[in-house]
Amino acid sequence: MQECSKAEGAEVSSGRAVSGLEGSGDLGVPGDAESGSTEEERRVRANAREYNEKFQYASNCIKTSKYNIVTFLPVNLFEQFQEVANTYFLFLLILQLIPQISSLSWFTTIVPLVLVLTITAVKDATDDYFRHKSDNQVNNRQSQVLIGGVLRQEQWMNVRVGDIIKLENNQFVAQADLLLLSSSEPHGLCYIETAELDGETNMKVRQAIPVTAELGDTSQLARFDGEVICEPPNNKLDKFGGTLYWKENKYPLSNQNMLLRGCVLRNTEWCFGLVIFAGPDTKLMQNSGRTKFKRTSIDRLMNTLVLWIFGFLVCMGVILAIGNAIWEHEVGICFQIYLPWDEGVHSAFFSGFLSFWSYIIILNTVVPISLYVSVEVIRLGHSYFINWDKKMYCAKRRTPAEARTTTLNEELGQVEYIFSDKTGTLTQNIMVFSKCSVNGHSYGDVQDMLGHKAELGERPEPVDFSFNPLADPRFQFWDPSLLEAVKLGDLHVHEFFRLLSLCHTVMSEEKSEGELFYKAQSPDEGALVTAARNFGFVFRSRTPKTITVQELGQAVTYQLLAILDFNNIRKRMSVIVRSPEGKIRLYCKGADTILLERLHPLNQDLASVTTDHLNEYAGEGLRTLVLAYKDLEESYYKDWSERLHRAGSAPEAREDHLARLYDEVEHDMMLLGATAIEDKLQQGVPETIAILTLANIKIWVLTGDKQETAVNIGYSCKMLTDDMTEVFVVTGHTVLEVREELRKAREKMMDASRSVCNGFSYQEKLSSKLTSVLEAIAGEYALVINGHSLAHALEADMEVEFLETACACKAVICCRVTPLQKAQVVELVKKYKKAVTLAIGDGANDVSMIKTAHIGVGISGQEGIQAVLASDYSFSQFKFLQRLLLVHGRWSYLRMCKFLCYFFYKNFAFTMVHFWFGFFCGFSAQTVYDQYFITLYNIVYTSLPVLAMGVFDQDVPEQRSMEYPKLYEPGQLNLLFNKREFFICIAQGIYTSILMFFIPYGVFADATRDDGAQLADYQSFAVTVATSLVIVVSVQIGLDTGFWTAINHFFIWGSLAAYFAILFTMHSDGLFRMFPNQFRFVGNAQNTLAQPTVWLTIALTAVVCIVPVVAFRFLKLDLKPELSDTVRYTQLVRKKQKAQHRCMRHAGRAGSRRSGYAFSHQEGFGELIMSGKNMRLSSLALSSFAPRPSASWIDTLRKKKGCEGSSASSPSGAADKTLRV
């Protein structure tokens, strides 16, 4: 068995360069080939594992775990000592074992070090356990593999290149990239959905090559021994080149024959495929990119600060070492009789050298060993808060939010750019027939008793379709007047739904009487046919030459004469049918901008009214579509049909000839009305985007879907509005075109804000922190750019221009982008803006983007887990992103910053006392505190209170965090913890240490006990300073705590109590009796703290340390309050008032019309239907089916796919005309 493929962070991750290899190599005659280090071509023989295994192709076994039982301890310790801090403290431990330089016992360092290593090891072991568990779950998934002529349930990890796999309907192609061999559909057809790959929800067609399409049973497939020679693994999702060699013949292979990992089998009962690429070699994984180790900006700053602190420690050690050398040379030399130098010390210089290392040991607490483990504990707590948040729990899917990493929480409070996928992230992938306009009358609005438009919550019961036994029970419509018009025999309404039931490429399947299943190529077309079905015009079945519709209970069969197929240039589709009465009629539906100019001039008034309805629908974010018809004379149709047949057989310019004939017949049509389909957004998407925008977060949509669809969703989400100054659309196909379009966009923005620009030149080189006067322009702009244009814009010589233009816009939408382009856009912003980025998506096509961004969020959708597995955080709905950032993210950033400020403060206040004491003890490396206090200070006396603050603290409640998005900005500007704040904390710590040492020192110089004895002795001084320190830092943590919980109270006062309990215990008689050599100062603490002078000294020290801090904070609050201070004050003032909730203003959009029909449709289905290839023989009316030359519809599909066109003009007038039936 081959070894498992390594993967990190996702289900599988590629170990090769993600760019892949260009070209497919020379595809020669099959034969034996030795495997090289670089794969130039791939050879795969069906049902021949031994042959394929010699090439050592990647298997499907994945391994994301890092350890096993044997390797855990050595590998984990090696990894932990990669941390500079851990290595530093190991070095200190070694120094402490040298008697000549150590003035502290070894346990003062080893106890904290072992504690830190143990906690980290337990955390790593827990994480790796879950990785093992996840690996086993994925590797043990079951697949149906053909082995020895029998289908067997095989574990996923055992699937190999060359195996033949069976897939069933609605099953994910999760194992590998497959060559389609045969299927349950005629001619080896197979329907797939590729939303996980390219974001498109419309169905696509794949077809097996004819020679294998006949291999329908396992016995035939078991004998199949064809060999495929094809391109090596690469990341090109839309291209595949190869050749199948079988029975001394060769057959060309293309992408139309491939089922890529990540797609879903739809409307196909079963299919068989040959594994070509497995595991990390699949195109999906080649697009996933490498897993990057993510560190927060605070992590990077902490590492820098620790290095600075270490440098400061060395400086203090040098100063004290020099002081020791001078003191020994000037003073110590005079006391050699009773203070001799240690053995081996023969000069003052060498004494200073040893003193340097002694002070490095004593002052080492200024470099906090517990800092990193404390940070991890706090982050772990924040992660659990996210996991436990019931307001981010989706009851419908039973999916909670999940923090899949514990290292990025505070960076959630610093996000400036969000990169979002569209399909499945912003939308639900559910199309709903919402409204329509028929003969100038709009249907779909529900009115209350007073005739006003009812709100959503006030809607009555939906329309009752029980009269129709074939109605889809899932369909809902809220306006009963449309059904009444159908029942009353309104001819316009009847013809409206008749068009919807005839003009489409939907396939119908009736598994049992009255139980219809529609196989729609696009979800919006399925919604339209379903609407007609429920209103009494039921599409029942079709053959290549007929369509059968049940109209209000009566079966009517229309002769299908022609399908004028959709493409991106036409943006419309038509059918020509002959009714049972013999009348020939053309039915057309398409984009309003296209159809309105093709109407008969008599429809001007009706077109004007319908245009108003279209504007209203578009303003609500609905996908609009115009319907029209035209009666054709028999003689004209006969002549046109002959010309169409000749054009279809033309050897050259076939598409151009057909387009002209289509355009000819689709003129002077009569307007029927318009439809409005709701591409249902996820709940709360517009509100979430609006709130995040107020928080100064820029949102870019990166989608693989078509431009029109993405723009339509942009308006629905309120990212794009008619209030915007301009929406720039970049569609250039060459470098020069793209550069020119970007230049024109910048010029327009600059012209609007010329006073701001002051002659800014775009040719200037920008600094690493990209700043531009463009970002200060007046007005709101948006940028829409296509994938082919983006490819040029991301080139090295144009990327800065593109980024400048995009960052000046309020909204950016990138359409038709590949997974790697998504990652490149994110990387571009990271590179130049130095801003925290967040990528959110739900599909495998988003994995690369999620891995590249600072923070990756996966939407746990109904299908697919690739995005979730690669993400740092996951939840089920986009709206939860608002809470994740504005509440959890902001709190995490606030808590981490307050924790770090206090942590550095308390450590400097503690350690610097030793520095001052050195000047009064002959620089002898004598400590102020006893060694037990030094050991327990950071792990017992002060650890829990600061952890409680770091885990539970809040400045404002969660409701206020959501209500005031501007509270988020301090994190974006990195105001709460930076180098300036660090130096302020250090200064406060040094100030506290000075008072902590010199006030007791001054008092003890002349103080006496109650019995008149001298108070000043070393142990009494140590107890006084230590007690003052613990009290001062405890009061300080109380002042820093903004949100008190029972845990905060318990930890703060409990730590004080623990200090005194341990202090009295260490100076007790009982401990002295057990360990007389360790605890010699019996009763010292009791005697010292019994003196009023000592308590007055402690009180004075505490007051002098704390009062300036309190005074400064009061002045700052009064003179320069922050927004959070204002919010807290407002909260106190309104404490007894009812909370006021802001309502989002729902504003309609006027003046923009967009058709959503064609955007998710794909060309080629009309020709496919007319050819009958997708129909079973049992459903064909053979008597009326005239054979026609077998044109390659797939070739046509491939040639025309991707053609983009733009055609917009003002609608021509049309007048209402009596409908002729």
Q: Torsions phi, psi of 494, nearest 5?
A: -60, -45
State how far Cα 749 lies from the chain centre: 31
CA separation for the pair 730, 738 (Å, rounded): 7
Helix (H) or strand (E) holding 1063: helix 1046-1066
First to last CA, the chain: 70
225 in Cβ contact with 162 (< 8 Å): no
Helix (H) or strand (E) holding 744: helix 735-752
705 in Cβ contact with 426 (< 8 Å): no
The CA distances from residue 103 to 654, 915, 931, 1045, in Å, are: 94, 15, 9, 41
- 919, two tokens: 């000047």
554 in Cβ contact with 1181 (< 8 Å): no
CA separation for the pair 130, 139 (Å, rounded): 14
Using alpha carbons, select from 748, 754, 773, 751 the residue that is nearest to residue 762. Answer: 773
Strands (E), 142-184: 142-147, 150-155, 164-168, 176-183
- The alpha carbon torsion through 302, 303, 304, 305 (nearest 10 deg) reads 50
Q: Buried b / exposed e across 528-565, counting CB within 10 Å, b at 16+?
A: bbbbbbbbbbbbbbbbbbbbbbbebeeebbbebbbbbb
Q: Positive or negative CA dihedral for 332, 333, 338, 341?
A: positive
Would you call 748 helix, strand, or coil by DSSP?
helix
Q: Positive or negative CA dihedral for 1007, 1008, 1014, 1015?
A: negative
Q: Give the 3-state secondary structure percentages of the chain, helix then strand then coil, rounded to 5.
A: 45, 15, 35
CA separation for the pair 146, 152 (Å, rounded): 6
DSSP secondary structure, 1115-1169, as one string: HHHHHS--HHHHHHHHHHHTTTSPPP----------S---B-TGGG--TTHHHHH
- The alpha carbon torsion through 1150, 1151, 1155, 1160 (nearest 10 deg) reads -70
Provide CB contacts within 8 A for 172, sequence distance 6+. Answer: 196, 262, 263, 264, 265, 863, 864
DSSP secondary structure, 448-479, as one string: -TTSPBPPGGG--PPP--TT-TT--TT-----
CA separation for the pair 685, 740 (Å, rounded): 34
DSSP secondary structure, 564-617, as one string: E---TTT-EEEEEEE-TTS-EEEEEEE-HHHHGGGB-TTBHHHHHHHHHHHHHH
- 448, two tokens: 């209350």
**How many C-beta neighbours within 10 Å does residue 660 have?**
12
700 in Cβ contact with 710 (< 8 Å): no
CA separation for the pair 482, 501 (Å, rounded): 16
Angle at which helices 107-139 and 370-388 pack, to 10 degrees? 40
1039 in Cβ contact with 1033 (< 8 Å): no
Using alpha carbons, select from 995, 897, 1000, 905 the residue that is nearest to residue 949. Answer: 897
What number of residues does the chain have? 1221
Catalytic residues: 421
Q: SS3 letters for 178-206? A: EEEEEECCHHHEEEEECHHHHCCCCEEEE
Q: Torsions phi, psi of 1178, nearest 5?
A: -65, -20
